[in-house]
Structure 1
Amino acid sequence: MKSALLLVDIQNDFLPGGALAVAEGDAIVPIANRLMPVFDHVIASQDWHPPHHLSFAAEHDGFEPFQLTELDGLQQILWPVHCVQGTPGAGFASALDVAGIDHVVRKGSNPRIDSYSAFYDNDHRQATGLTEHLRERGIDALFVAGLAADVCVKFTALDALADGFDTTLIVDATRGVDMQEGDTDAAIQAMRQAGVRLADSHDLLAAG
């Protein structure tokens, strides 16, 4: 079985001090660096929003970040402005070993729809090409880590599973937003119940 590591959105705006900071988001960077050499192929996803993306609360008069609205028929959480194309916030964490990344998937560039998953936008209207990329390389097992567990990591892992990949979440290499207390734990359990395996980086490193 040929495996790949998928690092989800390890970008400056999701690290402490960033526009949409995930608590302890920086703690996963050294784990990701240690994991990369274990895998046949390493992919990183990158949130890549145009400046006026409609998922930003700033684009909606009277709304604050983390409030809900509707966008083209879909419920939408409104976010702080983050990961705008070409800005430092959209860049990968400076401590991330980008030389170990074989392929980058950018998502969220359509201003009218958000894209949590590294595979599809939130309404599955458009694919990123990641499934085809993996299949062309004979990869059938995907190990997912990154930010944030209860948003982009969750939807990425569920789409990977739905597209037929043997999918494993590396729990200690993932952190969550936890907008509501318990969101991260609930997301991990939802992934597990759907069929995503759970693993710890120490076990993978020992096996590798």
Structure 2
Amino acid sequence: MIGRLTGTLLEKQAPHLLIDVQGVGYELQSPMTTFYQLPAAGKQVVLHTHFSVSENSQQLFGFIGTQDRELFRLLIKVSGVGPKMAIGIMSMEANDFARCVMDDNVSALVKVPGVGKKTAERLIVEMRDKLKDWSIEKTPDSNESGIIKLDEPASNVNDMIAEAESALIALGYKPTEATKAVSKVKNGDVQRSEDLIRLALRGMLPA
């Protein structure tokens, strides 16, 4: 069982990561709540991991904190929710998800790709007691106004927009949905593709 990795972050293209640990490259998948907090490529990173084995695959999932990993493990215990769907659900901030569960907000949960009405209802029923005493750690916003200000060359901005759209598509959104969501928040100067993704998801998922 692999419980934690410490190494150099080589590549990150949501939801996929590649980490070099003493010459061995580990491929992982991570939720956006982890991507928002990752350092730049080439920097050291510590991730708490979950190793998933099924009949057809072996997958490693990485999380910036143990709380995110615990939420992931709770989600995959829900009937009909696999690792891929759990990663998609964790596109929304943990406190937003907990609020949806506590408020019986089915309509918000079905906005997550792959989550239908029946799955949303099961999530609410099965997760309510588990999240009753859940201590949510709010990830600091890069900018409360939603406008990220930093001078960047146009080519870099275009690359970040492309990365953000690719990430949303990888999470299960249709290309047209991804393009539309990113276009709504790409005005102004952009610092990181992760910021664009977060703002785009805010427009599609509960705020």
* Length-normalised TM-score, structure 1: 0.30
Larger Rg: 2
Between the two structures, name the one with larger relative contact order (CA 8 Å, sep ≥ 6). 1
Bigger fraction of residues in helix: 2
Q: Provide the TM-score with structure 2 as the length reference.
A: 0.30
